[in-house]
Amino acid sequence: MQQIEIHPVPFDSPAAQQLITATLADLGARYGGSGDETPVDASEFTPPAGTFLVAYLDGQPVGCGGWRGHGVEGHTAELKRMYTAPQARGRGVARAVLAAIERSAGEHGRKRIILECGDRQPEAIALYTAAGYERIPNFGYYADEPGCLSFGRTL
């Protein structure tokens, strides 16, 4: 079995941007448009404000995700840009990235992690619920959009 390696990278690094482009294409295919219009700034994923991670199999970037601070109190992290490339799905990449994001957020003093997801992402919904995330009131850019599902978990 191949070992998954996960490394923090700048949000605007080539590996991260390659995977983020694929993420947005996947979301665009599911929902239309550009995939996600949520305002995101690379600096939001620079420690200690946040972190962006890329997963590698055989030296190739195959998954990503990150967290950024949410709210003024500094206790909550928001998960963003979770993605696993189709050729790496079913190999535990998403679970490993999610666990690494949770560890990173906890190491930076975050007590809770939240996320937005859409109802056309059954794989993501299954991952989050299996990892102990529960539905919370919608928040963020898509809070009032049909099909928006928000989840949260205490770290």
Let me know if residue 153 belongs to a domain.
Answer: no
Let me know if residue 95 belongs to a domain.
Answer: yes
| Cα of 79 vs its chain's centroid, Å | 5
Let me know if residue 91 belongs to a domain.
Answer: yes
pLDDT at 1: 54
Let me know if residue 137 belongs to a domain.
Answer: no
Question: Residue 130 and residue 94: Cα distance in Å, rounded?
Answer: 12
Domain that holds residue 89: 5-111
Contact predicate 30/121, CB 8 Å = yes
Structural domain count of the chain: 1
Let me know if residue 62 belongs to a domain.
Answer: yes
- Maximum distance among all alpha carbons in the chain? 43
- Where residue 23 sits, what CATH number does that domain have? 3.40.630.30
Task: pLDDT tens for the chain, 155 residues: list them.
Answer: 579 999 999 999 999 999 999 999 999 999 988 888 888 999 999 999 999 999 999 999 999 999 999 988 889 999 999 999 999 999 999 999 999 999 999 999 999 999 999 999 999 999 999 999 999 999 998 999 999 999 999 99
